[in-house]
A = this chain, B = another copy of it.
């Protein structure tokens, strides 16, 4: 048995298709289950983030679910760079999936039968403590994904008699679970983004996030500080910032930024205006509800009401 990817027999309409980093059974699929927009659609597994985003950009899918942060399945940096360089894409939602692993065996086998364990290297690294404690003498076989590990249990020449996989593996393979929650950390999570070409925005909820990518002006020292002052001057908190070198411009950087708030918040649109004047390139990637709702704390100085009051004051200065 191999993992050849073949086109689906009858390709569903793009408006009915969501691409994701397959195969089925991965954490990305778990994220899709959380997204109302993906419900009842065709879920198309692809082999890497770029392919998923190109499906959206080129109209083969109306959306893609891609990992953006803290993933055990890779793709973080690739996603950031793809969103920075590909046009026409918008983030429409984010979803957080807890990272949990189980130890799966073929039906009838038990924990003490295990000699060789198949696992994706990153998953393997996240279950060290359990393995050291419970199966100190096991052998290790590398697998290409968290699902491919389970598939090895059923291969003719497969050496593995156990696989480290996500809990959802039982939806796809006839396996038995001999140990649950075997990951070292109980709080690991992966954050996923639902990416589309829609240019309308999800409604403001008060618990929103806005993603942008900003390039610093070439000639300015202290440029990062000046850029961040645009946020500080409007009381805006950043929940993520990452510098990424710009391959075409050695020594220059773009910054991938998530900020608290929605484009329709006066302070956010004001900060984007400020950035746009300061920076040669600001890419707006979307405003969308936080995966884990938690109202954005807004200093009253920067509330919409205060923005309106200040405008009234300014308008009244001149007769």
Q: A residues touching B (Cβ–Cβ < 8 Å)?
A: 2-6, 47-51, 69-71, 74, 76-78, 116, 121-122, 124-125, 128, 139-145, 148, 157, 159, 185, 187-188, 199-201, 217, 221-222, 224-226, 228-230, 232-234, 237-243, 245, 247-248, 263, 269, 272-274, 276-278, 282, 284, 301-302, 306-307, 309-311, 313-314, 317-319
Contacts and interface: CB of A to CB of B under 8 A. Distances in A.
Contact of A140 (B47, B139, B237): B47
16 contacts: A3-B141, A5-B139, A5-B142, A48-B121, A49-B125, A50-B128, A70-B77, A70-B245, A74-B74, A144-B148, A185-B247, A201-B318, A217-B301, A226-B232, A277-B302, A277-B306
B240 A243 contact: yes
B142 A188 contact: no
Contacts of A124: 47-48
Copies of this chain held together in the complex: 4
A238 to B, nearest CB: 7
Given A48-B125, A77-B70, A188 B243 contact: no
A317 B284 contact: yes
A145 B319 CA distance: 39
A77 B301 CA distance: 31
Contacts of A245: 69-70
Which label, helix, strand, loop or mixed, suits the secondary structure of the A interface?
A: mixed
Q: Which 5 A-B pairs have the closest CB atoms?
A: A199-B319, A144-B144, A276-B310, A48-B125, A48-B121
Nearest to A2: B159
A261 B313 CA distance: 19
Contacts of A272: 314, 317
Given A4-B116, A125-B78, A157-B157, A142 B47 contact: yes
A200 B319 contact: yes
Nearest to A237: B221
A162 to B, nearest CB: 14
Given A222-B222, A230-B233, A277-B307, 15 more contacts: A5-B142, A51-B125, A76-B76, A121-B144, A144-B144, A225-B228, A233-B274, A234-B274, A238-B243, A239-B243, A269-B314, A273-B307, A273-B311, A276-B310, A276-B314
A318 B287 CA distance: 10
Nearest to A69: B245
Contacts of A116: 4
Nearest to A255: B241
A18 to B, nearest CB: 19
